[in-house]
Amino acid sequence: MAAKFETEVLHGLHKSKQAIKSKATPIYQTSAFTFNDLDELEGFYQGEGNYLYSRVGNPNTDELGSSVALLEGAPAGVAASSGLSAIMAGILAVAKSGDHIIAADDLYGGTFHLINHELRELGIDTTFISFTDLENLENNIKGNTKLLYTESVTNPLLRVEDLKNVAELAKKHQLAVMVDNTFATPYHCKPYTFGADLVVHSATKYIGGHSDVTAGVLVGREDLIEKARAKVVNLGANLSPFEAWLTSRGLKTLALRMKTQSGNARKLADALSSNDGVDKVYYPFDEGEEGFGAIVTIKLSKKVNVDQFFRSLGWVKIVPTLAGVETTVSHPLKTSHRALPPAAQQELGITYELVRISVGIEHSDDIVEQFEQAIVSSKQE
Ligand SMILES: *Cc1c(COP(=O)(O)O)cnc(C)c1O
């Protein structure tokens, strides 16, 4: 019987061959590796699994890439210096100058910039459209389309992607599918098992989980991961050994964190649903009894002064990121979605009243109380 997620996340992970049997993986904080003779050096180039130079490969970055691959049910993985560089490596493994991509129109802002500016300048053209209408999606496929790019759970409105049908459509047209699984994590959803070819994480978020590293991981089909690894190596987008080590350390508690944080998020979403200071709660209520993800987005009602609300949150800090163990809030309109044209902000529903909550591991009663009192403190006539 296959080990359950909680077990796999601890025991199934990549272990490097160690002469000294330390319980924790040592940090291979080295830029390069030594060789006893030219035969051993030649062995590296023959693929005998040695390490040469840390930009090309390092046991700590390998540990992280393989571990996330295992949890996602994918055959291979590679770590990168950030979520964005992992996304870049993944896209460049599939598309080159002259090719076309179709991407969801509600992507993370940084990804939108990468695709719409940097990759466009490199000659990769992209159509941004809603993925909710699959017929419209299919109508936008062109002769040079190579990739469908989306997120399993979107930011900040938490739309859950219909991954099975998107993957089916891609198969029909021989396109690759790449999914950003940062918000859901493999604890809740494994896009590779739904037919995605590449799955990417900003490991800065839940994979690391402690707000102390910037890192990315790309997992998926072996041939595509080998191409992406070459991009990471040649573009110098490798993750440092220490950052990889910290991220792997955080990953060990992913199941515990997601279980607690998602459970707390569900309770907060339920409580705020019946609060008259809140017009709308965005949360994938239907996806799981114990909660589905640890992000809750709310639209404050006209009864609440938004600026005062942000000032009244006590120990809940305003932070333009998410997924740490502490509960935090962000203001999408003025941070992550600031660069979107006003019309797009309006169309997506990114308004001044929108608050994204990243729910942490504190006691759920305290979290709920903190938000309820902030609403009471910021009520206006
Ligand atoms: C943060 C984030 C990214 C970018 O990751 P970095 O580690 O900041 O480069 C990409 N996608 C999503 C969904 C994110 O939340």
Given a contact cutoff of 8 angstroms between Cβ atoms, the answer to whether 176 and 148 are in contact is yes
Phi first, then psi: give them for residue 327, nearest 5 degrees.
-70, 130
**0.85 exceeded by pTM:** yes
Question: Quick count: other Cβ atoms within 10 Å of Cβ 260?
Answer: 20
- Ligand 1, atom 6, lies closest to the CA of 83
- How far, in Å, is the centroid of ligand 1 from the Cα of 247? 15
Given a contact cutoff of 8 angstroms between Cβ atoms, the answer to whether 293 and 322 are in contact is no
Confidence check: pLDDT of 18 > 70: no
- Which CATH number is 255-377 given? 3.90.1150.10
Q: In whole angstroms, what is the distance from residue 249 CA to residue 209 CA?
A: 10
Between the alpha carbon of residue 209 and those of residues 111, 213, 370, the distances in Å are: 20, 9, 22
Average pLDDT of the residues of the chain: 94
- How far, in Å, is the centroid of ligand 1 from the Cα of 48? 34
- How far, in Å, is the centroid of ligand 1 from the Cα of 202? 4
Phi first, then psi: give them for residue 170, nearest 5 degrees.
-65, -45
pLDDT attached to residue 239: 98
- Ligand 1, atom 5, lies closest to the CA of 83
pLDDT attached to residue 196: 98
Q: For residue range 126-156, what is the model confidence (pLDDT) as tens digits?
A: 999 999 999 999 999 999 999 999 999 988 8
- How far, in Å, is the centroid of ligand 1 from the Cα of 301? 29
CATH says 5-252 is which class?
A: alpha beta
Of ligand 1's atoms, which has the minimum distance to the CA of residue 214? 7
Mutation test residue for ligand 1: of 107, 182, 188, 328, the one with most atoms within 8 Å of CB: 182
Structure tokens of 246?
Answer: 């910290």
Of ligand 1's atoms, which has the minimum distance to the CA of residue 215? 7
Question: Quick count: other Cβ atoms within 10 Å of Cβ 39?
Answer: 9
Ligand 1 environment, Cβ below 6 A = 82-84, 108, 110-111, 151, 155, 180, 182-183, 202, 204-205, 214, 216
Q: For residue range 164-184, what is the model confidence (pLDDT) as tens digits?
A: 999 999 999 999 999 999 999
- Domain boundaries of the chain, sorted by first residue: 5-252, 255-377
> What is the share, in percent, of the chain residues with pLDDT greater than 70?
98
- How far, in Å, is the centroid of ligand 1 from the Cα of 83? 5
- How far, in Å, is the centroid of ligand 1 from the Cα of 200? 9
Q: Do domains 5-252 and 255-377 have the same CATH topology?
A: no
Of ligand 1's atoms, which has the minimum distance to the CA of residue 107? 13
